[in-house]
Amino acid sequence: KQTYDEIPFDIVDQVIMVDDASTDGTAQVAEELGIRTFVHLNNLGYGGNQKTCYREALKTDADVVIMLHPDYQYTPKLIGAMASLVAVGQYDLVLGSRIISGGALSGGMPLYKYISNRILTLIENILLSQKISEYHTGYRAFSRRLLQGLPLENLSNDFVFDNEFIAMTIYFGYPIGEISCPTKYFPEASSINFRRSLKYGFGVLHTALLFRFKKWGLYHPKLFERKGSGTSEHA
């Protein structure tokens, strides 16, 4: 509710929430707030949830789509700034970076997460030939052109979806921008455990290597094939 209350409705036309077969009452709270809510009867995974989000958002004829986690870990107050960078045609993807300001640790990011974030980002920047400050933020703004143009059905349904999305965006040449975003960690904030974090880390490295092998012409993974762009009904 705190997240919803801070959404700038002077520029936001519609809010969509997709509940991935949760049992914590999230869907009920969203419906009480008047949010357009979609519920998966079966858990489709973090990436599967996002595919539904973007498919439904595109049906509303949205020009700019913002991904914002409902747990208040990211402030909705940056929606306007992020959306404007997309709306003026400057970028097709804008990332809310927790690293640019240098306040990630003081904002509560666990030390092991910070270290792994920096190491993975360094490796990714080398393999993807980029200078992005952070690949692992959950706060993002997308252009309609990007969501319609990428073959999102090729992406994983797991947590590595976010990282594959960036790699795919880079591969197909869409411009990416960043904006500083404050870090907020607290007990109620959503997070993945150490085992899944480890799996995610290996998935990130795998994605970066696939990108580089594709660029070198050594391997042609399905991830970077552009057949059937966008979020299909069966994504």
Q: pLDDT band for position 45 (50/70/90)?
A: very high
Q: Say which residue, 230 or 39, is predicted with more confidence.
A: 39
The mean pLDDT of 179-197, rounded to a whole number, is 80
**What is the Cα–Cα distance from 104 to 2, expressed in whole angstroms?**
22
pLDDT band at 233; cut points 50, 70, 90: very low
Supply the pTM of this predicted model: 0.93
With CA atoms as reference, report the closest residue to 196 among 113, 123, 95, 72: 113
CATH class for the domain made up of 2-224: alpha beta
Among candidate residues 130, 141, 132, 134, the one with its CA nearest the CA of residue 114: 134
Regarding predicted confidence, which is higher, 100 or 191? 100
Q: How far apart are CA 164 and CA 206, in angstroms?
A: 10
Half-sphere exposure of 47 (CA within 13 A, CB side): 17
pLDDT digits (tens, 9 = 90+) for 210-222: 999 999 999 999 9
For 69-115, the pLDDT digits (tens) are 988 889 999 999 999 999 999 999 999 999 999 889 988 888 988 99
Write down the domain spans for the chain.
Answer: 2-224
